[in-house]
Structure 1
Amino acid sequence: MPSPNQTAPQPATRPRVVIVGAGFGGLAAARTLANAPVEVLLINRTNYHGFWPLLYQVATAGLEPESIAYPVRAILRRYRNANFLLAEVQGVDFTRRCVQTDVGEISYDYLILAAGSTTNFFGNNQIARYALGMKDLDEAQRLRNHVLLCCERAAVESDPTRRAALLTFAVVGGGPTGVELAGAFIELIRHVIRRDYPMLDTRQARVVLIEATNHILASFPESLQHAALQRLRQMGVEVRLQTQVADAHHDGLTFRDGSFLPAATVVWATGVRGAPLADALGVTLGRGARVVVTPHLTLPADERVFVVGDMAYLEGYRPGVAYPMVAPVAIQMGEQAARNIIAQLNHQPMLPFHYIDKGQMATIGRSAAVLDAFGIRLSGWLAWVGWLFVHLIALVGFRNRVLVLLNWAYSYFTYDRGVRLIFGVGAERQPAVVEYDEVNDH
């Protein structure tokens, strides 16, 4: 026993791992570190984790926002070494090992940056001003409000030209997000708007999918690209290939060839870049404003700082091509970064990141999808069932799975959407009214 004048030895403080971002990569890292001899602090600007692959269904009145979001604290409470901080990260002082937030500085021993991505408007302020993005719940709700407001305005519009513009929905980008959103818009027009607004001639309504290249779903095999294109056109989507957008306006889009598309709704579903935090770090950035990392997922000059998910630029998916900005990559990167931290603590060598490609899929409206996984290529109803199963299982929380399943079942059997409410974020936004003379001026 120590003498009265001696101080009893104190337990050593465990290293602190700070994780910035509660997306797929950040949560995967936190889960992997659950039983490690570290203290984990996860910082996020919202108090929830969002399941963004289903964001387009919130935007088209198919799901409630809370169906695809889950409280971060509820996720972390099962891990005794993990805590949560609601804060906006503004930068990092790598010399002092401090994360700078709007509530003060947070020190770290190891840092995992998993702040995700944002819409890339490629420096075009006009497009950023007039096009709607879809990268978080606020933007999805704003888009839903805007679409419903357009229908309300169209219902009382006497000028057929203006009414047609209010019922034109342009989606820029032929990737999975654009394809899924275009299909959802058509379903919304066919099964909801047609019945909710009997005074409207929905034959005037248009969904236009605009792609700069000569094919949609570029990462899919050619046979599935063709199947998706054929399905979209059968549904009534106008697919414009090899069409480049030059500018956006309050009343529509101008293309590089000088033509103009009158449209009150323009959704920018092409172009993604690293989160704005990447610009504030003062490190080397690759394409898409993504942070260049080593194969171990660390900064080249600091092995205690890891970058994962959409923020990380690491080539290796294909020669000269960085890993794609998708959830499976983020999850595997988050897990590998956490394992490499544990390796450092155990004085073992870190292992490089190797991505295990589990395939890809995209849904195309009701009862149709394309699937490319483990050598299996499917399109149609079977692929759609597979898409439903994978996304349902991947949702966080039993309650969310039940809510989403009930919503899907309701929509499937009734051809209806249950979330046709204009409220909250962006409810005050007024859709553009296209003047007849303005259309002719273009």
Structure 2
Amino acid sequence: MTDPAHADLDQEPDYGLETPLAGHPEPLPHVVVVGGGFAGMAAVKALRDAPVRITLIDRRVYNTFQPLLYQVATGGLNPGDVTYFLRGMRLKQKNVHVVHEHLVEADHEAKKIRLLNDHWISYDYLVVTAGVTTNFFGTPGAKEFAFPMYSRSQAMRIRDNLFIRLERAAKSKRADDGLRVVVVGGGATGVEVAGALAELRTAGLAPAYPEIHGDAFEVKVVQRGGEILKSFAPKLRRYATQELARRGVSLHLGAGVAAVERDAVVLTDGTRIHADLTVWSAGVHPHEEVAGWHLPQDDYGRIKVGEDMQVEGLPGVFAAGDIAVSPADLPQLAQPAIQGGTIVGRNIRALVDGQPLQNLRYVDKGTMAVIGRRAAVAEINLPGGRAIRLTKGMAWLVWLFVHIMSLVGPRNRVTTLAGLVTRYGFPFHRRPVPIVGDVPTVRPPKAPARKG
């Protein structure tokens, strides 16, 4: 009997790729974009008015706004607030078709790629923006016991485990039984996770869990270097350190993680920190399968591209975002991905029109991180090499504006704004109720089966 899930493998799928667009009687050049993240969506949008057919391939059916995933993990936002249905792009851009699949193999000489369902798709131009995944750096036990936070499902898993542990502690007879969270990584993500957990503990959970006493809900940040937020100015690093301390977040600096255990994090200096929940935010790297796509990679697995974002030695093949490394070696952040994807789209349009290609001229707009209620750090770069460094409430407002405007879709902007302002913004609303994780339902034991 034929497996219904694979019933279509013996026939060529119809992705709408051969359907001429209105006003174009012949099939147009085919652009295949692999990955619907920041870079992939930017490339697709840059080709909105181009005379091309676009196929956007992604293993998920949605785009994730990763800078706010930690809000999902800590009960501040719903998963739908930070995700956007990729097929929704068709509402404004008719030259794109979305395919829910996964790239397995690429034949660049024949200009075609093979998907996980064994279908081959031919391309005239290929754009690889498949993103990256969590890097555990080979740390023993990290993959088994630490919780990464690079996808929606991972963020929800953290939230579920957070509330499972809290309910377990509330039922415990031990006064010191609670929740010890260790956040590995003192970059922007690690600081934001720790700050959100401290906000959750103080504003949302302290009155809700009177059974958990004293400092039984502890948040600690572990950072190999001697300071947190090393990419920020010293003034901002000091402010963030002080704000975390004021919120009861303790820092363990100057030692890396030697191993992660089920209930502890062991550091390279021999320190063993009790951990009921370990959140890993220490780095990323490309997926292992990228090595089979026959693309040049550097020592860290990133695809090597030129200044025009074309893959080295492969004309017409582009890569952008965290998965790519250019001669400028840009940071793996949202803005480099967006600007890289945009220049990819423009350069494909230039190739179609017979025009010269442009090099990426990255504009560093700055960086920011939120610590808690009306507490954030922001470094905004202005034309002429000047920079504005903000802290406290003003930095928080800038952070809020930038993140809301960067979201895809008006509904996501409205719901996220409501969620963040409710959590952080109202001085008279000091105890917001968190979005609870999925705690297992308490069920009575099954009655024994009757004999006879």
TM-score normalized by structure 1? Answer: 0.89
Stretches of structure 1 that go unaligned for 5 or more consecutive residues are 1-9, 317-321, 429-442
From 165, 185, 192, give the equivalent of 1:150: 165
Return the alpha-carbon distance in structure 1 between the equivalents of residues 365 and 145 of structure 2. Answer: 37
- Residue of structure 2 equivalent to 1:53: 67
Letter of the 2:334 partner, please give it. Answer: A
Asked whether 1:420 is paired with 2:436, we answer yes
- Residue of structure 2 equivalent to 1:220: 232
Asked whether 1:187 is paired with 2:206, we answer no
Return the alpha-carbon distance in structure 2 between the equivalents of residues 278 and 160 of structure 1. Answer: 49
SS at match of 2:372: coil
Describe the shift of the 1:315–1:417 C-alpha distance in structure 2 as closer, same or farther (beyond 3 A): farther
- Residue of structure 1 equivalent to 2:9: none
After superposition, what is the alpha-carbon deviation per residue over 1:332-357, rounded to whole angstroms, capped at 9, x for unaligned?
00011111111112222212212011
- The answer to whether the Cα contact below 8 Å between 2:296 and 2:312 also exists between their aligned partners in 1 is no
- Residue of structure 1 equivalent to 2:267: 255
Return the alpha-carbon distance in structure 1 between the equivalents of residues 39 and 318 of structure 2. Answer: 11
Return the alpha-carbon distance in structure 1 between the equivalents of residues 239 and 134 of structure 2. Answer: 28
From 370, 383, 390, give the equivalent of 2:377: 370
- Residue of structure 1 equivalent to 2:360: 353
Q: In the TM superposition, what are the counterparts of 1:425-436 in structure 2 within 5 Å?
A: none
Describe the shift of the 1:386–1:100 C-alpha distance in structure 2 as closer, same or farther (beyond 3 A): same
Return the alpha-carbon distance in structure 1 between the equivalents of residues 200 and 300 of structure 2. Answer: 33
The number of residues matched between the two structures is 408
- The answer to whether the Cα contact below 8 Å between 2:199 and 2:372 also exists between their aligned partners in 1 is yes
Q: In the TM superposition, what are the counterparts of 1:129-278 in structure 2 within 5 Å?
A: 129-160=144-175, 163-164=177-178, 167-278=179-290
Return the alpha-carbon distance in structure 2 between the equivalents of residues 217 and 289 of structure 1. Answer: 25
Describe the shift of the 1:254–1:197 C-alpha distance in structure 2 as closer, same or farther (beyond 3 A): same
Return the alpha-carbon distance in structure 2 between the equivalents of residues 76 and 48 of structure 1. Answer: 13
Letter of the 2:190 partner, please give it. Answer: G
- The answer to whether the Cα contact below 8 Å between 2:31 and 2:54 also exists between their aligned partners in 1 is yes
Kindly state the Cα deviation for residue 222 of structure 1 after the two structures are TM-superposed: 1.2
Return the alpha-carbon distance in structure 2 between the equivalents of residues 300 and 101 of structure 1. Answer: 23
Return the alpha-carbon distance in structure 1 between the equivalents of residues 46 and 262 of structure 2. Answer: 47
Letter of the 2:31 partner, please give it. Answer: V
**Larger proportion of helix:** 1
Describe the shift of the 1:339–1:269 C-alpha distance in structure 2 as closer, same or farther (beyond 3 A): same
Q: In the TM superposition, what are the counterparts of 1:55-70 in structure 2 within 5 Å?
A: 55-70=69-84
After superposition, what is the alpha-carbon deviation per residue over 1:355-401, rounded to whole angstroms, capped at 9, x for unaligned?
01111110001111001012110111100011011111111111111
- The answer to whether the Cα contact below 8 Å between 2:132 and 2:284 also exists between their aligned partners in 1 is yes
From 122, 139, 145, give the equivalent of 1:124: 139
Asked whether 1:115 is paired with 2:99, we answer no
- Residue of structure 1 equivalent to 2:341: 334
- The answer to whether the Cα contact below 8 Å between 1:115 and 1:277 also exists between their aligned partners in 2 is no
Asked whether 1:102 is paired with 2:116, we answer yes
Stretches of structure 2 that go unaligned for 5 or more consecutive residues are 1-23, 382-386, 442-452
- Residue of structure 2 equivalent to 1:437: none
Kindly state the Cα deviation for residue 11 of structure 1 after the two structures are TM-superposed: 3.7
Q: Report the RMSD for the aligned CA atoms in angstroms.
A: 1.6
- The answer to whether the Cα contact below 8 Å between 1:132 and 1:143 also exists between their aligned partners in 2 is yes
Kindly state the Cα deviation for residue 125 of structure 1 after the two structures are TM-superposed: 4.7
TM-score normalized by structure 2? Answer: 0.87
Return the alpha-carbon distance in structure 1 between the equivalents of residues 289 and 323 of structure 2. Answer: 9
After superposition, what is the alpha-carbon deviation per residue over 1:280-318, rounded to whole angstroms, capped at 9, x for unaligned?
2233322432111111111111111100000001132xx
Kindly state the Cα deviation for residue 202 of structure 1 after the two structures are TM-superposed: 4.2
- The answer to whether the Cα contact below 8 Å between 1:171 and 1:268 also exists between their aligned partners in 2 is yes
- Residue of structure 1 equivalent to 2:5: none
Kindly state the Cα deviation for residue 197 of structure 1 after the two structures are TM-superposed: 1.1
Return the alpha-carbon distance in structure 2 between the equivalents of residues 107 and 28 of structure 1. Answer: 22
Question: More displaced, 94-103 or 299-308?
Answer: 94-103
Return the alpha-carbon distance in structure 1 between the equivalents of residues 146 and 393 of structure 2. Answer: 33
Return the alpha-carbon distance in structure 2 between the equivalents of residues 280 and 191 of structure 1. Answer: 48
SS at match of 2:419: helix
- Residue of structure 1 equivalent to 2:295: 283
